[in-house]
A and B are shown apart, each in its own frame.
Chain A
Amino acid sequence: MADETIDTPQPDAPAAAGGSTPKISPTPLPRKPKQDRPPEQDPGIWRMNRRNLLSVAGWMGFLGFIVVSTVGALRYMFPRVLFEPPTKFKAGFPQDYVVGEVSEKFKDEKRVWIVREKDGFYALIAICTHLGCTPRWLPGDNKFKCPCHGSGFYKTGVNFEGPAPRPLERAMISLADDGQLEIDRSIKFLYEKNEWGRPGSFLPFTG
């Protein structure tokens, strides 16, 4: 009720007892009604006075800013360019590999073993399927053995002891145009998904 009385123009108070202050305007200007509430006859669902509108707009702007900057900060954490070794590499000529041997030539640099059998090649990724350590090839025992938790794999890559839940993964292996072996670590073949028969998982070669 108190603020309504402000809207209605008050009749001028009688001059103060001193009476010395001159009157500026004998009749006060008609005051416009304030627009801090919606007109009574407004039927809309967005019955909103000016103060609410500005408040909502302000908070929406603030919220939008927070959301957009959060999304930006999250995207910032995903780098576009990685400074990691290329996944595709050439591994020399097939004739350089001895039949029946596991080559550790590219293990340190590329984490790949290249195995030559009588009828061809396959490439095993040297990452233990348990928790990602690098197993070792033990020629005496004819098996791969992980030093972290003792997982063991046959020469084919199939697990047979320790905690590893699945066989080692095979990488894509093919012959490049120049006759060298070419290996792509980013294309993998998983035994448990029956992918070891697919072209690329095994390179037939009897040269």
Chain B
Amino acid sequence: MALMEKFRKTEFYKSIFRHSYQDTQRNRALQIVDNVFLHLHPVRVPRHATNIGFTWGMGGITFLLFLVLTITGVILMFYYRPTAQYAYEDMKYLMNDVPFGPLMRNMHRWAAHAMVLTVMLHMFRVFLTGSYKPPRQFNWVVGVILLVLTLLLSFSGYLLPWDQLAIWAVTVGTNMARATPLLGHEGPFGPELGMRINNDVRFVLLGGTEVGPPTLLRFYVGHCIFLPLIAVIFMAVHFWRVRKDGGISGPESKKNF
């Protein structure tokens, strides 16, 4: 312990951690504010915020699942090649021969399923408690965008195993894009605007006129880079607005904790 005390007094330690564990209001606030990872979190938490019965903790659980998905996703990328030739084999390889491969893939898969569920429950809770009302209207809109991004991430990840289930599920899913108004070649006003099978919105999604190798690559890049990037930006705005719009929502009677 004496050694630890000595270490805490070194310039090395002090250059990283600016504040001690001294239990004063000021010091505790500084510890949160001066930490890049903690500073998104409020310095003080109202007592009602710890009431699981009110918030269900669903937003936090969703974020935790997003972190799990990011980490396991990066780990899976070390073995997965997004080409028609290798994708399915790499998935089988992960599941059968890579040490802890099944654990990583199953964590990714189950966390993905769970995240869709928790996002919906989070939305349900916000609706029930009326937390979408002013001044939180804008954050509800951001939340809706995050819900859509979650569903798109889920959908794009579905194709990556490149088995029959994946290919046909995505075939069916993207065929709905044919009927997009204005932008789909079978949708209202689509053909009139010059939409054909090889230039409409479905064509952009697939990178061709049918689900094929270019689709796999597009969905892979979308799933691993593009959509998470957009989601992170909206998540930062979402968390920021929670604090700026009056902190975590609580029961009416306890607003002024």
Contacts and interface: CB of A to CB of B under 8 A. Distances in A.
A79 B208 contact: yes
Contact of A133 (B172, B199, B203, B210): B172
Contacts of A79: 207-208, 214
A83 B213 CA distance: 9
Contact of B172 (A77, A83, A148): A148
B46 interface: no
Interface in A82-98: 82-84
Nearest to B174: A132
Given A132-B171, A148-B172, A77 B204 contact: yes
A131 interface: yes
B190 interface: no
A133 B173 CA distance: 11
Contacts of B210: 84
A131 B172 contact: yes
A82 B168 CA distance: 20
Interface string B200-226: 000110011110111000000000000
A192 B138 CA distance: 46
Interface residues of B, number: 16
A78 interface: yes
Contacts, number: 31
B199 A148 contact: no
A84 B210 CA distance: 9
A84 B204 contact: no
Contacts of A82: 198, 208-209
Chain A residues touching B, majority SS? loop
Interface string A111-147: 0000000000000000000011100000000000000
A36 B207 CA distance: 53
B207 A148 contact: no
Nearest to B176: A131
Interface residues of A, number: 10
A84 B212 contact: yes
B31 interface: no
A158 B208 CA distance: 28
Given A84-B208, A131-B175, A78 B199 contact: yes
Interface string A143-169: 000001000000000000000000000
Contacts of B176: 131
Contacts of A83: 208, 212-214
A78 B172 contact: no
A15 B168 CA distance: 91
A132 B208 CA distance: 15
A133 B208 contact: no
13 contacts: A77-B207, A78-B203, A78-B204, A82-B208, A83-B208, A84-B208, A84-B212, A131-B171, A132-B171, A132-B175, A133-B168, A133-B172, A148-B172
Interface of B: 168, 171-172, 175-176, 198-199, 203-204, 207-210, 212-214
Given A79-B208, A84-B210, A132-B171, 14 more contacts: A77-B204, A77-B207, A83-B212, A84-B208, A84-B209, A84-B212, A131-B171, A131-B172, A131-B175, A131-B176, A132-B172, A132-B175, A148-B168, A148-B172
Interface of A: 77-79, 82-84, 131-133, 148
